[in-house]
């Protein structure tokens, strides 16, 4: 929730710029808008942080990953390798693109592993939709090796990992296209919003057209624009972009503070409870540090810790293993492909039986995982209070005083 902790006069100023012109639409209206272009500025700010050549602000992170897949060439009949641990939007986007999700194993990075990807490849595999989970990053060197070896398209859902990087390259920019979410729960928020990034001009153009009913945005008469492709309305409004712009400017500072808070907590906990480990960060310096991802030795001890912390009224953490949105165990609607109507997936051969998936490593990792949201506004006392309760509860659980 870092972004929302930091609302202030900067957000208000950007929003008022838009309100003063009354032009809430991101395109055209040159004469009335007094040179106020918040969506463009928001995109430029994202490019400044990530180094992306192209950025397209859209209505949500879900729209951004959908556009990234479609613009990268993923469509009907293509198998796309996906993780079982992500927000459901990743899987929905693959299905809406007309493609077939194939679930592969994650590892302690909380992201797909190179080994997991390689095992899931079939002759129909076209792409990998890699998700950088919980503010961190996947193990990119090994994953890029597999992607190159099998000539696959790499699309990155960095919905939770804006501003995280690996060896100097920002998440979202390792493959053909990537996406970030700026919804209410991210390191920076636009209220609702997302950004697709790419270094490839053709991919950018396809996404730009696709996200605005195919409009090519040439000239200054919207009614006379050409439509190179069919698309839909995934536009961001100037008001949302104005908030996203002010928030994105805060991200370098938030990331810096988050990293310090995370390090402080982890060191304190590790010093006291040796059995606790943390998710693996292939490049610690690039962590956006929005979560402290604690790994207990096994699933029962993680469940006991969750129960004990709940009992003490300690909140601010996610136990994804039983969370309805982020782990495959609860995705019955997806396993049963329950769309309101028939969709391309219903007519295609599926190389996996979604109701009987065998993903033991993912089950083991997510079963052990408890993610604590890092707050940028934490005081020393608040961090000490949280660390104290985690340490006390973990010690009790691990000495077998609590077994569920």
Instruction: Enumerate residues 6+ apart whose C-beta is below 8 A from 162.
Output: 46, 49, 50, 171, 172, 180, 181, 182, 186, 187, 188, 195, 251, 288
Near ligand PLP in 128-147, by CB under 6 A: 131
Q: Give the position of tokens 């492709």.
A: 229
| From candidates 3, 136, 159, 231, binder to ligand PLP by CB under 6 A | 159
User: What's the closest the beta carbon of residue 215 comes to ligand PLP, in angstroms?
Assistant: 22
Q: Which is nearer to ligand PLP, 5 or 30 (CB)?
A: 5
User: What's the closest the beta carbon of residue 157 comes to ligand PLP, in angstroms?
Assistant: 5
CA pair distance 7, 399, nearest whole angstrom: 43
83 binds ligand PLP (CB under 6 A): no
60 binds ligand PLP (CB under 6 A): yes
User: What's the closest the beta carbon of residue 286 comes to ligand PLP, in angstroms?
Assistant: 17
Strands 153-157, 177-181: pairing kind: parallel
Q: Which is nearer to ligand PLP, 72 or 86 (CB)?
A: 86
| From candidates 72, 171, 181, 248, binder to ligand PLP by CB under 6 A | 181
3-state class (DSSP) for residue 301: helix
Neighbouring C-alpha atoms within 13 Å toward the C-beta of 156: 32
Number of residues that bind ligand PLP (CB under 6 A): 15
157 binds ligand PLP (CB under 6 A): yes
Token duo for residue 92? 């929905």
Q: Which is nearer to ligand PLP, 108 or 192 (CB)?
A: 192
- Catalytic positions: 186
**CB-CB contact of 141 with 134 (8 Å):** no
Q: Which is nearer to ligand PLP, 87 or 170 (CB)?
A: 87
Neighbours of 302 (CB within 10 A): 22
45 binds ligand PLP (CB under 6 A): no
**CB-CB contact of 362 with 278 (8 Å):** no
Query: Using CB under 6 A as the criterion, which residues of the chain lie in contact with ligand PLP when the complex forms?
Result: 60-62, 65, 86-87, 89-90, 131, 157, 159-160, 181, 183, 194
């Amino acid at each position: 929730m870092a972004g929302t902790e930091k609302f202030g006069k900067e957000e208000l100023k950007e929003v008022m710029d838009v309100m003063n012109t009354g032009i809430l639409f991101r395109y055209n209206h040159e004469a009335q808008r007094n040179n106020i272009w918040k969506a463009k500025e928001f995109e430029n700010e994202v490019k400044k942080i990530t180094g992306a050549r192209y950025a397209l602000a859209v209505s949500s992170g879900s729209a951004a990953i959908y556009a990234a897949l479609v613009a990268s060439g993923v469509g009907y009949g293509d198998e796309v390798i996906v993780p079982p641990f992500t927000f459901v939007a990743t899987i929905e986007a693959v299905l809406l693109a007309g493609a077939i999700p194939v679930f592969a194993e994650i590892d302690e990075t909380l992201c797909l592993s190179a080994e997991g990807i390689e095992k899931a490849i079939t002759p129909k595999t076209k792409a990998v939709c890699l998700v950088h989970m919980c503010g961190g990053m996947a193990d990119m060197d090994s994953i890029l090796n597999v992607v190159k070896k099998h000539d696959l398209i790499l699309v990155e859902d960095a919905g939770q990992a804006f501003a995280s990087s690996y060896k100097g390259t920002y998440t979202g920019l390792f493959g053909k296209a990537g996406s970030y979410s700026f919804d209410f729960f991210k390191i920076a928020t636009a209220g609702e919003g997302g950004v697709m990034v790419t270094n490839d001009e053709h991919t950018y153009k396809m996404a730009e057209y696709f996200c605005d009913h195919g409009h090519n945005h040439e000239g200054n008469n919207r009614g006379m624009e050409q439509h190179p492709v069919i698309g839909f309305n995934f536009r961001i409004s100037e008001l949302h972009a104005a908030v996203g712009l002010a928030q994105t400017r805060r991200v370098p500072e938030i990331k810096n503070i988050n990293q310090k808070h995370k390090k402080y907590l982890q060191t304190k906990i590790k010093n006291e409870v040796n059995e606790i480990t943390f998710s693996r960060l292939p490049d610690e310096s690039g962590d956006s540090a929005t979560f402290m991802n604690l790994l207990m030795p096994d699933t029962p001890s993680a469940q006991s810790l969750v129960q004990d912390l709940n009992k003490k009224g300690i909140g601010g953490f996610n136990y994804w293993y039983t969370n309805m949105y982020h782990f495959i165990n609860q995705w019955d609607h997806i396993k049963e492909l329950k769309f309101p109507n028939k969709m391309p997936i219903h007519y295609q051969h599926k190389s996996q039986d979604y109701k009987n998936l065998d993903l033991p490593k993912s089950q083991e990792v997510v079963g052990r995982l408890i993610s604590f949201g890092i707050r940028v506004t934490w005081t020393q006392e608040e961090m000490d209070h949280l660390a104290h309760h985690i340490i006390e509860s973990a010690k009790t659980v691990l000495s077998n005083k609590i077994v569920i």
